[in-house]
Structure 1
Amino acid sequence: MENAALLRAIIDNAIDGIITIDARGQIESINPAACKLFQYSPEDVIGKNVSVLMPPPDKEQHDEYLGRYQRTGHAHIIGIGREVTGLRKDGTHFPFRLAVSEVKYSGRQIYAGFIHDLSREKEAEHQLKDYAAHLEELVADRTQSLRQTVEALSQAKEEVSLSLEKEKELGQLKSRFVSMASHEFRTPLSAVQLSASLIDKYAQPFDNSNITKHVARIKHAVGNLTGILNDFLSLEKLEAGRVEPSFNNFDLVKLAEEITEEMQMLAKQNQNIIYQHTGISHVANLDANLLKNCIINLIANAIKYSGENTFIEFNTEINAAGCHITVKDNGIGIPEADQKHLFEAFFRAHNTGNIPGTGLGLNIVARYASLMNGIIDFKSNVNKGTLFTISFPIL
């Protein structure tokens, strides 16, 4: 009796629905979970054929099974471990997975059906499809918008170059354009970046590679445009004389290690940044923000113009002569004919091909270094790599 009571308690408290029927399909018992799923009380269904819980065509198929049993004496179960559709009392349908076991008891054949509700799983599948469809639309819209923005910027630059005759007028117009662009484009770009991050977060439970790929594409496009705006804004501030270095003591090694960790996340496959410091002192007296901008720009170029499976050497040194920063890569190098123009604004070497860039980064690095009383130098050979060195005197 105790075992029977325990079994009854287990069935009554089971999460999945359990229904038992006789060989002719009449319901003999139904547990509370099944009652909740089908919205029936035990009194409503016990003694009735189980087909009352089935919508067409399962209902008609079950009638066939019963007819076959009456003719042949052999039962035919509608399915084992497969997805079927249930019919609630209010007429609505819901999906569930059905497993059926045959039980011989007191000389009779009883069939126990185990019902696992799939409503949440199916709802999640529909949400995932909706997310994917929405993301495809978002990618298409954002790609078109970004393409139009780039085309508008390109067209504006061409029209400005043709319409201005004097360098002073060109500088003034460029300054106004950069100020406008930085304010007008930053807000929508920030919104796009935030939306992409939220989509990425909300889609994590679905573990869908397509969503991850498209979100990464949006973030990469936004990052490229943000970098372009930052370069233009930095140049505009420099030319307007609004950049003033703030010299303070800081831990150069700590700053360099943070930069190395940050840039390693942006490196290509199997592209490693190797950092090393030389000297007994770690303390530098410079503008940490301007120096960080210089180093990030040099390492970003090394990543961009080097291939996969390469090393980027990043070194800092503090000695009696001053502070020295070096970044060395094994990339495409700089053609000798282009080297004399390397630090000019908007200049790009002829071997960069389709690699994106504004031609402003090295110009900004050189001007930031100059503001901190430093100088930048380099050595480069085509297809062998480039070594940049920034040197600052001890203040």
Structure 2
Amino acid sequence: MNTSSKNSIKKIISSGITEEEILQLFVENSEDILILTDSEMVLEYVSQSLESMLEIEVSDFIGKKINSVMENFPSLPLMKPNQKMVIPLITSITKQKYLIEFQFKPIYTAAGTIQAIFAIGKDVTDRELSLKKFKDTAFKEKELNQLKSRFVSMASHEFRTPLATILSSTMLIEILLQKDFGPEIKERIQNHLKKIIAQTNRLTNITSDVLLLEKSIQIDTKILRKKIQISSFLKEVVDVINHENLERRRVNYSGPEADKIIQSDPSLLTHIFRNLILNALKYSENALEPEVHLVFRGNYFEVTVKDYGMGIPKEDQEHIFGSFYRAKNVGNIKGTGLGLNIVKELTKKLNGEIWFASKAGMGSTFYVSFPVK
């Protein structure tokens, strides 16, 4: 306390007001929360400010352990000089949540042991919520920058090969067209045209994935729910893939005899199932045929996509749903690393869950679960 403050207090005391009355005046009008406990954290004093905040009578506090009255209060904080701790407190009636920053001041005996603990609390709810919002924004910005960096890296790598193939095939066709059209020339032209079509489709698919990723992370994406017979719907998805694959490798489907009508977005479901099934085919060359199973579990239906391929290495599994992330053992198998990230985002939008089990060299099993309605 400075000299000016001391002189002011002396003038007030000389006018007939005692130090106890001055102290009481400060305590009663302070917006801070004042708490005094014994060495065992049993409450001996609580200011009126806490009573009005928590909607509890002061008499309900006294004589009780502080953490029995304030649920989130630590039973015995680690006492350090002027230690501060932000503690959430919830009102008893309206269930409003406050974030209070307490500063602990232990009071010691002459022997050096703690005799009592004095705590001063300030309402820092607005400050902490603003800080959390800032941290969330900073994290999202950092995540977005990483996403952009990964996209640039992926795009420069994935676009280079098809573009080079398209360019070289176009130049060769131009040269071949200057010659007579014999059967051999026609076959070579057809071969290069197939390469151009394949690589153009690949670029189109990459662009579609990027656009779908952008759509999937939008909060206001519209979900167009329709009635779907889910077993018939899933079987049709499998049949189309088998037809596209020209029956070279089949995907085996099994489901319950009795179908159920669900309400969901058929477009989003198709993308989810196609991606998982095509992945099962892509990453299990020369292995047993992939399997798709449908089961009903109460108010949910669960789809399992199982393959017997290369599996996902343990060190990659925690990142497998990340954007532009690909497992280290995929070798030269083409892909953007966007598929599973998009599947996860779309699954969340349909109020579903996705998880998997995998072991390197033994295959992977992906599970997706959705509510029936």
Q: Normalising by the residue count of structure 1, what TM-score does the alignment of the two structures yield?
A: 0.47
Larger Rg: 1
Q: Normalising by the residue count of structure 2, what TM-score does the alignment of the two structures yield?
A: 0.49
Point out the structure with the larger helix share: 1
